[in-house]
Chains A and B, each alone.
Chain A
Amino acid sequence: MIVVLKIILRNALRNKLRTLLTVLGAATAILAFCLLRTMVGAWHAGVAASSATRLVTRNAVSLVFPLPIAYLEKIRQIHGVARVSYGNWFGGIYIDEKNFFPNFVVEARSYLDLYPEFVLTPEEREAFLRDRRGCVAGRKIADLFGWKIGDIVTLKGTIYPGDWDLVLRGIYHGRDRTIDETQFFFHWEYLDEAVRGMMPARAGYVGFYLVGVARPELASRVAAAVDETFRNSLAETLTETEKSFQQGFVAMSSALLLVIQTVSILVVVIILAVVANTMVMTTRERMGEYAVFKCLGFGGGTITAFILGESLVITLAGSVLGILLTFPAVDMIRTNLPNFFPVFNVGKDTVAQALGAALLVALCAAAIPSRRAVRVRIAEGLARVG
């Protein structure tokens, strides 16, 4: 056994340049594979981070239609509802459309209670609650734009016209790495008062209610009860768990996700072609040696073991290198493009999938050459040159 391993390693290192090139090829491909899988994971970050005790209620027609603020009390009275918060998508632009980050207006106190994963210091929390023009930003966008507590942040409204000057009162941290640290929110009351002055018809509306239920088991019953309450009213509601709400968003761009997933499979086929090529060449060159092995009485199994072993050594070396490179690459993307991929972490399953893909590639790449090597007639193999 040890001898076989030794021969495999020696064989792999016989043509150092070729092995190096194959390993590098496999490494870049596995790196690309891991990055693509991580990207798919980032797309689902909102789903993964959602809580089972939170529901989202919105207008049944679609998200662009609001709900009256008067629904608040009615929702509060529904049995099983522990907390209700509400808000609007604000859709403001900071200086340029390129600087995109999600920004909302919310009812601050209940929102912070409902989202304990957004961590503020008690002082920041108090300062934000006390200042009508106060706002809170996630750590990542505060870093990106160099904001400090007390800075004035001006958002240009796209839905609510005008320039909105807000004072940064808090910078929240995520409770853990799965929490989006690129959100931005300020007071619903502030927006509503301003809107009342400008366009009275649009005041007194919210975009969504966030409903906290006491226990996860109550979620579906409460959701049905909320929708039942407002059936046949002017604004019918659609209530779903935060998870399915987020999943709805993911599903809207499912075609893109499909493209990314397909491409991540194609890259595995690309390395397969490269490794298979290497293995075909190696075995072609060593046909004579295999014939000698056969003369000595070794069977097809041993020869297959040599070829498969070499294929495994080369592919796994490349894959491990690729996986190791993934971590710094992901770090770089996370720091440089925080507003594209707010949550960008390498999952354990990504690493497992990459190793699985590598194994599959090693097996497939060894298949044709070992068949050839096993089948070669001794005389033919010995006679062969080059």
Chain B
Amino acid sequence: MAIPFSYSYRNLWNRRLTTALTVAGMALVVFVFAAILMLAEGLQKTLASTGSWDNVVVIRKGSTSEVMSGIEREKAALLETLPGIAPAPGGRNLLARELVVLICLRKEETGSPSNVTIRGGGALSLDLRPQVKIVEGRPPRPGTYEIMAGSGVARQFPTVRLNRTLRFAQREWRVVGIFDAGGTGFSSEIWGDADTLMQAFRRPVYSSVIFRLRSPGDFEPVRARIDGDPRLSLEAKREVRYYEEQSEIMAKFLRILGYSLTVIFSIGAVMGAMITMYSAVANRTSEIGTLRALGFRRREVLAAFLLEALFLGLFGALAGLVPASFMQFLTVSTMNFQSFSELSFRFTLTPAIALGSVGFALLMGLVGGVFPAARASRMEITRALREA
């Protein structure tokens, strides 16, 4: 017969202050673990949801981002005639030539400069991105000095408001619309008309060409065709894949940071659990003797103390995850190392992170409890009873 559950957790309740302190230590480790993984997850989710599976991004071979790339007009025209592109209403192909550059704006809270992405699009850019929705005003008209700003940009930069103007490239640009692109990277961009922006910036080349595939599965032949054409020396990627790549380095940095920090931090918390459990065993020597005398076996005593340690871990997990889940209301805006531009994203809690945190906390409890529990189970009945 096993020692009942209640024996384990009542003991924790009996020594509330000690239990609370141990749990607090573990909870903080769980909080850091969960929060940093949530940050990495949020970054990746944002960029992964930016792209669409059936869209293709074409950039110059060797470039790692649209900002670095350049596509001459004649190459863009060649791409326009590729087979396999979905048709747009009006008989044209669903394709947009885009310009992507960075401009330097100052942030609201800190006044510090940051790089904001400006995307010059074509007539079909909005059709290619159904997730982009105008929430205020209207889209900019081609051929005019009009722009619209993503909701993330409007939140961060005080100069970007509806009907206000921004000055760059020797011109005044009027913000005629604010768009929301949900939790995607486009929310951190400013959009305008590609040809007007190219003239203003005196940049003769596009940055990228985006098109929708006629049938989403037919990416490979299109890619091979673009890759194999020596006139182009361009490279095609699925839009999803392109944006995933943009988050790789930073997400990896955050994950490595998160894992290495929590491993070091957890040593502290495990020590805390060990101290608590050792003293729990030491203080209850006579109780253990009594339990053994009543006929409970060594492994049942071991299980009872391990269970107590696991409870510590479980409470730690819960106490850490609750504040971590509130972090989801926070939006972080920072420079993505790879695209060199400002990107805002949210802490995102996934079931996998929550389960991982609980597992990690239970592991801390287990490691902290195993030696004390072993000591408890190895006690001699007579000696233990005499201790009291």
Residues of A within 8 A of B (CB): 17-18, 21-22, 24-26, 28-29, 31-32, 35-36, 60-65, 91, 93, 97, 156-159, 161-162, 201, 232, 234, 236, 238, 248, 251-256, 259-260, 263, 266-267, 269-271, 273-274, 276-278, 280-281, 368, 386
B333 touches A255 (CB 8 A): yes
**Given A157-B62, A158-B68, residue A248 in contact with residue B113 (CB < 8 A):** yes
Contact partner of A97 (CB less than 8 A), chosen from B25, B64, B68, B275, is: B64
A159 touches B68 (CB 8 A): yes
B269 touches A270 (CB 8 A): yes
Given contacts A28-B264, A270-B29, 9 further A-B contacts (CB under 8 A): A22-B271, A36-B261, A64-B102, A162-B62, A232-B170, A234-B202, A251-B113, A269-B24, A368-B17
Residues of B within 8 A of A274 (CB): 21, 25, 268-269, 271-272, 275
Contact partner of B268 (CB less than 8 A), chosen from A17, A271, A281, is: A271
A31 touches B264 (CB 8 A): yes
Find the A residue at minimum CB distance from B274. Answer: A21
B265 touches A29 (CB 8 A): yes
A322 to B18, CA, bound (A): 25
Residues of A within 8 A of B35 (CB): 259
Residues of A within 8 A of B201 (CB): 61, 65
Residues of B within 8 A of A260 (CB): 257
Q: Could you give 12 example pairs across A and B, Cβ below 8 Å?
A: A18-B278, A29-B268, A31-B264, A61-B103, A62-B103, A161-B233, A236-B170, A252-B115, A266-B31, A274-B21, A274-B272, A386-B283
A28 touches B115 (CB 8 A): no
A31 to B110, CA, bound (A): 31
B271 touches A21 (CB 8 A): yes
B334 touches A278 (CB 8 A): no
A157 to B68, CA, bound (A): 10
B28 touches A277 (CB 8 A): no
B169 touches A266 (CB 8 A): no
Contact partner of A28 (CB less than 8 A), chosen from B233, B267, B278, is: B267
Least Cβ distance of B39 to chain A in Å?
7
A273 touches B278 (CB 8 A): no
Residues of A within 8 A of B24 (CB): 269, 273
B110 touches A91 (CB 8 A): no
**Given A252-B335, A255-B333, A271-B268, residue A277 in contact with residue B62 (CB < 8 A):** no
Per the 8 Å Cβ criterion, residues 172-225 of B in contact with A are 201-202, 204
Residues of A within 8 A of B249 (CB): 97
Is B151 interfacial (CB-CB < 8 Å)? no
Residues of B within 8 A of A63 (CB): 102, 104, 115, 340
What 7 A-B pairs come out closest when comparing CB atoms? A25-B271, A251-B112, A273-B25, A252-B335, A255-B334, A277-B21, A274-B272
Find the B residue at minimum CB distance from A20. Answer: B271
Interface 1/0s, chain B 27-62, versus A by CB < 8 A? 011011001100100000000000000000000111
Is B101 interfacial (CB-CB < 8 Å)? yes
B32 touches A256 (CB 8 A): no
B265 touches A270 (CB 8 A): yes
A234 to B22, CA, bound (A): 64
Interface 1/0s, chain B 208-252, versus A by CB < 8 A? 000000000000000000000000010000000000000001000
Contact partner of A266 (CB less than 8 A), chosen from B18, B32, B283, B332, is: B32
Residues of A within 8 A of B168 (CB): 61
Is B144 interfacial (CB-CB < 8 Å)? no
Is B114 interfacial (CB-CB < 8 Å)? yes
Contact partner of B110 (CB less than 8 A), chosen from A161, A251, A253, A273, is: A251
A377 to B267, CA, bound (A): 38
B21 touches A276 (CB 8 A): yes
A236 to B29, CA, bound (A): 49
A280 touches B21 (CB 8 A): yes
B32 touches A253 (CB 8 A): no
A201 to B204, CA, bound (A): 8
Interface 1/0s, chain B 261-293, versus A by CB < 8 A? 100110111111011101100010000000000
A145 to B272, CA, bound (A): 43
Number of residues from B at the complex interface, CB < 8 A: 60
A24 touches B334 (CB 8 A): no
**Given A157-B62, A158-B64, residue A253 in contact with residue B335 (CB < 8 A):** yes
Contact partner of B63 (CB less than 8 A), chosen from A158, A201, A273, is: A158
A263 to B283, CA, bound (A): 35
Most B CB within 10 A of own CB, among A35, A234, A267: A267
Is B67 interfacial (CB-CB < 8 Å)? yes
A156 to B63, CA, bound (A): 10
Find the B residue at minimum CB distance from A264. Answer: B261
**Given A161-B62, A263-B32, A267-B265, residue A278 in contact with residue B275 (CB < 8 A):** yes
B110 touches A25 (CB 8 A): no
B112 touches A32 (CB 8 A): no
A157 to B64, CA, bound (A): 10
A252 touches B21 (CB 8 A): no
B265 touches A259 (CB 8 A): no
A49 to B125, CA, bound (A): 45
A368 to B17, CA, bound (A): 10
A156 to B61, CA, bound (A): 11
Least Cβ distance of B334 to chain A in Å?
4
A263 touches B261 (CB 8 A): yes
Residues of A within 8 A of B274 (CB): 21
**Given A62-B103, A64-B67, A159-B63, residue A277 in contact with residue B264 (CB < 8 A):** no
A60 to B17, CA, bound (A): 59
A234 to B114, CA, bound (A): 22
A93 to B301, CA, bound (A): 60
A64 touches B101 (CB 8 A): yes
Find the B residue at minimum CB distance from A368. Answer: B17
Least Cβ distance of B102 to chain A in Å?
4
A103 to B112, CA, bound (A): 26
Contact partner of B22 (CB less than 8 A), chosen from A60, A65, A273, is: A273
Find the B residue at minimum CB distance from A232. Answer: B170
Contact partner of A280 (CB less than 8 A), chosen from B17, B64, B67, is: B17
Residues of A within 8 A of B334 (CB): 252-256
A62 touches B268 (CB 8 A): no
Residues of B within 8 A of A255 (CB): 332-334
A234 to B171, CA, bound (A): 11
Residues of A within 8 A of B39 (CB): 259
Residues of A within 8 A of B340 (CB): 63-64
